Structure 1
Amino acid sequence: TPTHPDLKAPLHLRQRNHIFDNEEFDCRTPEDWLALGFELDSTDHKPVPAKALLPTSDNISDTGTEQYMWQSVGVLDYCPEKKQYLVQKADPLGRIRDRNGKPAVPGAQRNKDSLLAGQFWVPRIRLMFCAEDPRIFAQRVQFALNSRKTTEAMLLYNLCVDCMPFSSVTPTLDPTSLQRIRDFTLSTPERMKRLEKEVELHYNRTMNKLSFDWVVQNKPEEFSYITLPQEEPESVPQSVEQQFVLSGHEFATAKNMRISTQSY
């Protein structure tokens, strides 16, 4: 049974992974997954076997201290609005039963407000079908975790830069450059004033960003919790194609020159 790296993390952190889920890892649509519950030459719809990351207890509190583990479940339904699957825990014998002890029927809980004991709505990132490749699913989970880690690091980085105050030491925008912007801008005086404030704000933020990056790079032990954004290298084109627009006479002349050249 695979282990989840966020078992000891707060509940709100565990629930955020589905935001970064990449559906390109999926080899089937939700309808195709549910269709696996139909047997050949039969109209009986059975739960689709899978494993889901669920709380060990069916009674969920608001404190967010529940322990989670991968458990055997049967997939019963899918909600396209929330992009969640309805699953039910299997009993000790591996069966999916309703409250009367009869086999659970997929879709029976649709449009019902309350769920049975052991039933949960879970996102795809917390559901691994038995019919899928577990290695690809592990890559899917790792992709979501890496994306969440990168996003949180960039949010913290930009928050630090935005919270830096503007002081007299911070270089100001050159008045000549600001006047050049005014000359090229056609706007009303009110909009011009707002535009100047926006330009000055972006300029001051850029200056603070340069200072902040320099401090983080030179004092990594004090800012170990800060991740600087990776700059994408600029690629230089190997060749430049030039397109020429020729008139009818020029095109005919060029065509005749090409024909006469080929005759030799």
Structure 2
Amino acid sequence: MPRHPDPQNPQTIEQGNDPIFPTYLPLKVFDNEEFDCRTPSEWINMGLEPGSQDRKPVPGKALLPTDDILGHEDPKSQKLKYEWCSVGVLDYDKEKKLYLVHKTEQRGLVRDEMGKPILNGGITAEGRPPLLTCQYWVPRIQLLFCAEDPRVFTQRVVQANALRKNTEALLLYNLYVDCMPSEGRQLISEQSLNKIKQWAMSTPRMRKGSSVLEHLNSLSKEVNLDYERSMNKINFDQIVSSKPDTFSYVTLPKKEEEKVPRQGEGSWTKGNVRLRLSLRGKWLRRCEGGAPGGETSMCRG
């Protein structure tokens, strides 16, 4: 479970923990709903019995705080401990995609403060009452129904956790690259950049005017920024790859070969969009076929 950072005990790389840094993304974001064998409404309707109009709680286990008071006040507290508790599933929120669960008592029953059974999700003629201290809204990844295969649910949690770990590592990787200094690095020569601008402006039916020049200058800054970042990324990858033991906490992204089409089709009405496509397309063709006059330094990375 994600926790608040502890300023008194910061985690360092030398500790060798896995993961190096505390998790901060909720696991529910990476949940694969394809693992589910029933829809939420089907799970809830399992509490209906033939000949009865009252819907009973559906048995299951949920990952919940052991301290219900602190669990509601601060779910990310460092002092809070989470355990899989026996619960009865009362209801489902379609908008938030959360299940309402109620911790069972010592006898394994779901009872309200008056000791009465909770039926139909606890909803009465007056509406839904306030949550009890033993009730929580939880995502599906924190809820194991007794009627589902626990092995499949385990695979679901493991897959979501692996995806979260990889995503957090790649976010840190991009943060490292973005924080690298760009001053003093090799930039695209003005001569090469001017040629690209000329090629872009020579596009048939391209509008001329001050607004187009403003977009052109903006795109030129974007190209320079992308080039600087690409050079930093190349250097960073080389350093990390050359010293894997030193930078064991850095996860490099997997290299995927992208097939760039020679030409594209589409109906565009905005002049700045045509300019962007023309500028980027001609830059790609120059990188693929080599720049005129042997100028290829701008296509590194």
Q: What is the aligned partner in structure 1 of residue 97 from structure 2?
A: 83
Deviations 1:95-127 (A, max 9, x none): 001111111113324854720131110010000
Unaligned runs of 5+ in 1: 1-5, 236-264
Amino acid at match of 2:34: E
Distance 1:72 1:116 in 2: 16
Shift of 1:171: 2.1
Contact 1:34/1:48 (8 A) holds in 2: yes
Per-residue deviation, residues 130-180 of structure 1 (Å, max 9, x unmatched)? 011111111111111011111101100000001111132x22213343123
Superposed displacement of residue 224, structure 1: 1.6
Please name the residue that 2:108 is paired with: 94
CA distance in 2, matches of 1:68, 1:131: 23
CA contact (8 A) 2:122 2:129 kept: no
Higher Cα radius of gyration = 1
CA contact (8 A) 2:90 2:100 kept: yes
Which amino acid counterpart does residue 80 of structure 1 have in structure 2?
K
1:121 to 128, 133, 137: 137
Of residues 184-193 and 15-24 in structure 1, the stretch that sits farther from structure 2 once superposed is 184-193
Deviates more, 1:33-42 or 1:225-234: 225-234
Q: Which runs of 5+ in 2 are unaligned?
A: 6-22, 202-207, 260-301
1:76, 1:87 within 8 Å by CA — same for their partners in 2?
yes
Residue matched to 1:197 = 221
TM-score (norm 2): 0.70
Q: Please say if residues 102 and 134 of structure 2, whose CA atoms lie closer than 8 Å, have aligned partners that are also in contact.
A: yes
Aligned match for 2:248, one of 224, 227, 249: 224
Counterpart of 1:50 in structure 2 is 60
Secondary structure of the 1:36 match is helix
Which is further off, 180-189 or 212-221?
Answer: 180-189
Secondary structure, in 3 states, of the residue corresponding to 1:220? coil
SS in 2 for 1:59: helix
Post-superposition offset of 1:185 = 2.5
Sequence identity, in percent?
50
Q: What corresponds to 1:208 in structure 2?
A: 232
Work out the CA distance in 2 between the residues paired with 1:181 and 1:97.
73
Q: Which residue pairs with 1:40 in the alignment?
A: 50
Residues 57, 121 of structure 2: 8 Å contact kept: no
Amino acid at match of 2:119: V
Matches within 5 A, 1:33-182: 33-60=43-70, 61-62=73-74, 63-109=77-123, 112=128, 114-168=130-184, 170-182=185-197
Question: What SS is found at the alignment partner of 1:75?
Answer: strand
Using the TM superposition, give the Cα deviation of residue 231 of structure 1 relative to its aligned residue in structure 2, in angstroms.
Answer: 1.0
Give the partner amino acid of 2:134: G
- State the Cα RMSD in Å: 2.1
How far apart, in 2, do the equivalents of 1:100 and 1:195 lie?
68
Distance 1:109 1:164 in 2: 56
Q: 1:176 to 1:20 in 2, by over 3 A?
A: same
1:27 and 2:32 aligned? no
Task: Find the residue that maps to 1:153 and give its secondary structure.
Answer: helix
